[in-house]
A and B are shown apart, each in its own frame.
Chain A
Amino acid sequence: MTNGKILIVEDDADISLGYKVFLQVRYEVFFAVDVPSAVSEALRLQPDLIILDLGLPGEDGFVALERFQENPILSGLPVIVVSGRDPAANKNRSLEKGAKAFIRKPWNNAELLTTIDQFIGRGERVAAGGASLDP
């Protein structure tokens, strides 16, 4: 029994494994490596939360945020941006594009967990109230 599904959009295999080992004891974790796979996996899995890197091959994480916002099925999903980029230049832009939080790499596990728990709880409530989204 897990606490929910998390889709992790991250192109670095080592970091992905780092997420997996740390998060799989609490959540079901899935991975995408770029914007197109992030959108298709999000639609297929309907995760409770998305962790999104900004520096991705091809289109960057900001494009992913736009794609999520455009899609009525995905627009309500909580997204946490976890990036090595300078928060001064990228945090507000991420939040404006719909992200719920911005965490700097290298992240602190305790901080990441607290943030995830905060939004996954909220995500469940939204899903329960948004039954019309289910086919």
Chain B
Amino acid sequence: MIAEIIPAGTEAPLRFLLIEDNPTDVELLEYELRRSGFEFTLAVVQTPEEFTRELRTTPPHLVMADYNLPSWRGMEALEIIAREGQDIPLILVTGALADTTAVDCIKEGATDYVLKGTLARLPVAIRRAFQEKNLREQRKRAEENLARSKRALEKSREDQLRFKDDLLSHVSHELRTPLTAIKQFSTILLDGSAGELNHDQHKYQQIVLKNILQLQAMIDDLLEVTRLDNGKLTFKPESVSVPAILTDAIDTVYVSAHAKGITLSCDPSPGVPAACADPTRLRQILLILIDNALRFTPSGGAIRIRARPSEEDFKFVLFEVSDTGCGINSEDLDRVFERLYQVRPDQSSREGLGLGLFICQGLVTRHGGQIWVESELNKGSTFSFTLPVFSVNNLIAPLEAALKSQTL
């Protein structure tokens, strides 16, 4: 019975420390405790100094204190216990005590109070004090374990993320070596360095090269996503002329659009301000959006690229890439910016890893802009994004944001 309630990890005899100036009361209390079957030693002190010394030399399992002492009050013992950094239950054992005072004492941290007239209740109070202390310690241990598990879990998650990043960047690098050889020899065959190819051979070799370039783009995307994820994306905003960058993007895709019979038009509004962007990244965003539009637009369709000051916020330039393609159904519409999400047009095989729009979104966000899509089935889609208008403040802001996100 007693073994169940003694403080965890302690062995009998229990050490009791009593603050009491009346020898008769000490005797009565000791008698009552022996009668209840406790195995214990009892130290008795009268002054705060004695109490403190006893706490330091032989810390007790339990303190009992008279409420009214000649030079101090029993409740002050609680402050001393706390100051000494100890967690020891304290029971007030006192003559008369008003109910309100008793309640105050409990509020201040006393475990219980027992009137000297009903000392028979003391053993019960002691057992309960120990039970409470054991529960408190159990809870503390459980909380510590929980915090430890949480830390271990976080660390394992970080390790996993780092492993994933390392793996992706390693793989995308290692894949390049064989790809380089394949691409080089495909190019050599195509340019006739190894002898003229007949018409069919040339055509097939072009298919080989086209697929190599696609594979290369996928490997690039893999690495790009790793960079976006771990915040290592290189990003140097500067003042970018919007009409110039749109023209450049159109020039890049002109041949493939023309081959597919798709009209391209570029329409920067007059006086559109310079954007605050990394020109390589802005070009990349536009090309991903235009490439997507080309994939989903049938022959005879049109792609229109527009740019103008944002009507909602004049501090942003609004870019739009609209197509007259198949459109996106509402289910897909919510998910197109997700990583690895792919919408496959009819009769089309895989064209990428499903990372393009995810990368786009990451790039636009890093610039401090927003990206969204509106679409109507069988009519077409419009991808819109905003980028800050160039100003010295905007030049600094994304850098500050990037620094902040790195320190988080």
Contact = CB atoms under 8 A, between A and B. Distances in A.
A25 B406 CA distance: 50
A109 B227 contact: no
How large, as a class, is the contact surface on chain B? 20 to 34
B393 interface: no
B202 interface: no
Interface size bracket, A side = 10 to 19
Given A15-B184, A21-B194, A22-B188, A84 B176 contact: yes
A18 B177 contact: no
Given A21-B193, A106-B183, A84 B188 contact: no
A14 interface: yes
A12 interface: yes
B169 A86 contact: yes
Interface string B190-205: 0101100000000000
Contact of A14 (B181, B193, B212, B227): B181
A109 B186 CA distance: 12
A105 B176 contact: yes
B173 A86 contact: yes
A27 B184 CA distance: 17
Interface in A53-84: 55, 84
B223 interface: yes
A12 B177 contact: yes
Contacts of B194: 21
Given A21-B188, A22-B188, A106-B184, A15 B177 contact: yes
Contacts of A25: 193
B188 A105 contact: no
Given A22-B188, A86-B223, A88-B234, A15 B180 contact: yes
B137 to A, nearest CB: 51
A55 B173 CA distance: 10
Interface in B286-304: none
Given A14-B181, A15-B180, A109-B187, A22 B193 contact: yes
Most buried by B among A85, A89, A106: A106
A88 B188 contact: no
Contact of B180 (A18, A85, A88): A18
Interface string A14-34: 110011011001000000000
B362 to A, nearest CB: 15
A25 B188 CA distance: 12
Contacts of B183: 106
A12 B181 contact: yes
B193 A18 contact: no
Given A14-B181, A14-B185, A88-B232, 20 more contacts: A15-B177, A15-B181, A15-B184, A18-B188, A19-B184, A21-B193, A21-B194, A22-B184, A84-B177, A85-B173, A86-B173, A88-B233, A105-B176, A105-B179, A106-B179, A106-B180, A106-B184, A106-B212, A107-B180, A109-B187
